[in-house]
């Protein structure tokens, strides 16, 4: 396949690599594009985009391909694949990272931790930098250093018209506002500049486990504990069936547990004191909190959510976790049938909440937690309806408590849910940006901000 001016590799169904290249993280997504353009430079992105527009091809942009909705690939169009663009350069003196658009978080962590630096990234190392950042970005360092989007200082962007522009507080502050949480609606980011912070290379981190039957009592303690926790501490709760990983004692494998993972982004001795009460609550089954390499902890969830499994999600932000909600989550989680399904609760607050609500497109900063309900199964398991129904039932039971929704955790749930991710005022502001940068909605394979029609 020839694309004028394109120096990368353009794959079609005749190429042996095509079948692998069209697959994304969520194995439930099965789409067949016409062309997959593996870009080797920003100029290749421009050429591929020009070809798409001249031939009226639907455009998907793939960086990590980790979005659960699978927008990184489409049927019958072109995938502009940034995967070959994985370069990361760290300026340790200026505490900056310069990251190409196809990099994964494992690439960023490896480069920055060589200098004892980090920025808020995903909790899975094979997550793409681009998708996480443009949707907001929550991770282990967020309560100390803000979301990933809060740490985005500058971007290089290919526009819908094929121009290359720079975006920063000085060069186009309104577009930077939109890139900090508004998703891939405004162009293709080929390079990011992030602020870095002192973190690691050793941090106090790890999981604590209790029997899921004890979750109501532990979670009632935890919600009070989390409310008073210092910014250095970020915790993530999981209701899960414990996988057979060597990290955990063999006698616990396959058992339903409440897991609370923690990272202390500060002096380890202070972290030990701060976590002492949680670690002693109700005699845990297992306490894996210890000093460990930050990069190792960042990879800790990788094997639990591999490429190719089938994933179905529902998610919401909540203002708090009360006893009724804890009871509902516990009851439904005890009824989980797939050993791969789980419910995860992200502790928000701290630095995330101290940024003004209108300062970025990322929204609902006053939420205390995000709840993400995950139905997961293997392709050969005939349980898709069962697990999807479990997800919807728990989501519906919690829906009266919804405070908002995080755009990166949406599947294809309709335009109103996209609006709910931002609220009316922010959505109107994002639509104005869309009108300026992409009035034809070339970039619509995403959680779409539709151009407004006068």
Give per-residue pLDDT as tens, 188-234.
999 999 999 999 999 999 999 999 999 999 999 999 999 999 999 99
CB 102 within 8 A of CB 132: no
Alpha-carbon distance of 103 to 129, in angstroms, equals 6
pLDDT bucket at 1, cuts 50 / 70 / 90: confident
Nearest CA-CA partner of 408 in 447, 370, 352: 447
Sequence-ordered strand ranges (E) for 352-410: 369-377, 402-404
Using a pLDDT cut of 90, give the percent of the chain over it.
98
pLDDT bucket at 452, cuts 50 / 70 / 90: confident
pLDDT of res. 289: 98
Report all structural domains of the chain as residue ranges with CATH numbers, in order of start: 9-81 (3.30.43.10), 88-198 (3.30.465.10), 202-409 (3.40.462.20)
Query: For the residues 54-60, what does the mean pLDDT come to?
Result: 98
Alpha-carbon distance of 103 to 91, in angstroms, equals 17
pLDDT of res. 199: 95
What distances in angstroms separate CA 231 from CA 144, 192, 217, 218, 332, one per listed residue? Answer: 5, 26, 24, 21, 31
Reply yes or no on whether the pLDDT at 347 is more than 60. Answer: yes
The token pair at 214 is 């004890």
Alpha-carbon distance of 86 to 103, in angstroms, equals 4
Query: For the residues 237-242, what does the mean pLDDT come to?
Result: 98
Give per-residue pLDDT as tens, 64-112.
999 999 999 999 999 999 999 999 999 999 999 999 999 999 999 999 9
Reply yes or no on whether the pLDDT at 367 is more than 90. Answer: yes
- Provide the mean pLDDT of the chain: 97
Looking at beta carbons, which pairs linking 444-447 to residues 24 or more positions away fall under 8 Å? 444/59, 445/58, 445/59, 445/60, 445/61, 445/71, 445/72, 445/74, 445/77, 446/61, 446/71, 446/183, 446/184, 446/185, 447/69, 447/71, 447/135, 447/183, 447/407, 447/410, 447/418, 447/421
pLDDT of res. 402: 96
Alpha helices in 74-156 (DSSP H): 105-113, 129-135, 142-145
Query: For the residues 342-354, what does the mean pLDDT come to?
Result: 98
Counting beta carbons within 10 angstroms of the beta carbon of residue 168, is it exposed (0 to 12), middle (13 to 18) or buried (19 or more)? middle
Query: For the residues 284-308, what does the mean pLDDT come to?
Result: 96
pLDDT bucket at 446, cuts 50 / 70 / 90: very high
CB 121 within 8 A of CB 149: no
pLDDT of res. 375: 98
| C-alpha radius of gyration, the chain, whole number | 21
pLDDT bucket at 403, cuts 50 / 70 / 90: very high
Sequence-ordered strand ranges (E) for 299-451: 310-318, 342-347, 369-377, 402-404
Give per-residue pLDDT as tens, 128-151.
999 999 999 999 999 999 999 999
CA angle (117 as vertex; 114, 122 as ends), nearest 5: 100
pTM passes above 0.85 = yes
Q: 């202070």: which residue's tokens?
A: 270
pLDDT bucket at 413, cuts 50 / 70 / 90: very high
Reply yes or no on whether the pLDDT at 390 is more than 70. Answer: yes
Alpha-carbon distance of 441 to 84, in angstroms, equals 26
pLDDT of res. 111: 98
């Amino acid at each position: 396949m020839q694309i004028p001016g394109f120096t990368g590799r353009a794959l079609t169904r005749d190429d042996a690599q095509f079948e692998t290249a069209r697959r994304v993280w969520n194995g439930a997504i099965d789409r067949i594009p016409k062309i997959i353009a593996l870009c080797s430079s920003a100029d290749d992105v421009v050429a591929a985009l020009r070809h798409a527009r001249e031939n009226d091809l639907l455009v998907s942009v793939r960086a990590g391909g980790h979005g659960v909705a699978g927008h990184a690939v489409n049927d019958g169009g072109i995938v502009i694949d940034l995967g070959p663009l994985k370069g990361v350069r760290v300026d340790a003196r200026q505490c900056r990272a310069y990251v190409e658009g196809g990099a994964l978080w494992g690439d960023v962590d490896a480069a920055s931790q060589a200098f004892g630096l980090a920025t808020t990234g995903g909790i899975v190392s094979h997550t793409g930098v681009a998708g996480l950042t443009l949707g907001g970005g929550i991770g282990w360092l967020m309560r100390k250093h803000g979301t990933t989007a809060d740490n985005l200082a500058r971007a290089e962007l290919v526009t819908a018209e094929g121009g290359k522009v720079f975006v920063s507080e000085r060069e186009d502050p309104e577009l930077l506002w939109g890139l900090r949480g508004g998703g891939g609606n405004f162009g293709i980011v080929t390079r990011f500049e992030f602020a870095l912070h002192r973190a690691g290379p050793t941090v106090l981190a790890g999981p604590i486990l209790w029997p899921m039957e004890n979750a109501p009592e532990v979670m009632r303690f935890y919600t009070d504990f989390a409310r008073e926790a210092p910014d250095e501490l970020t915790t993530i709760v999981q209701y899960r069936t414990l996988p057979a990983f060597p990290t955990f004692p063999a006698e616990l494998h396959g058992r339903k547990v409440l897991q609370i993972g923690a990272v202390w982004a500060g002096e380890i001795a202070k972290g030990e004191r701060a976590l002492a009460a949680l670690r002693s609550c109700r005699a845990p089954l297992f306490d894996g909190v210890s000093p460990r390499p930050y990069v190792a902890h960042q990879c800790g969830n990788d094997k639990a959510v591999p490429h190719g499994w089938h994933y179905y999600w529902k998610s919401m932000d909540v203002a708090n976790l009360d006893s009724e909600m804890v009871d509902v989550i516990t009851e439904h989680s005890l009824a989980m049938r797939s050993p791969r399904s789980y419910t995860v609760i992200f502790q928000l607050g701290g630095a995330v909440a101290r940024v003004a609500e209108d300062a970025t497109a990322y929204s609902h900063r006053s939420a205390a937690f995000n709840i993400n309900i995950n139905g997961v199964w293997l392709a050969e398991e005939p349980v898709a309806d069962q697990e999807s129904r479990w997800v919807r039932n728990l989501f519906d039971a919690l829906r009266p408590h919804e405070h908002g929704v995080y755009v990166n955790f949406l599947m294809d749930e309709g335009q109103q849910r996209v609006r709910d991710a931002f609220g009316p005022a922010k959505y109107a502001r994002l639509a104005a940006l869309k009108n300026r940068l992409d009035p034809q909605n070339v970039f619509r394979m995403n959680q779409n901000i539709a151009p407004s029609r006068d």
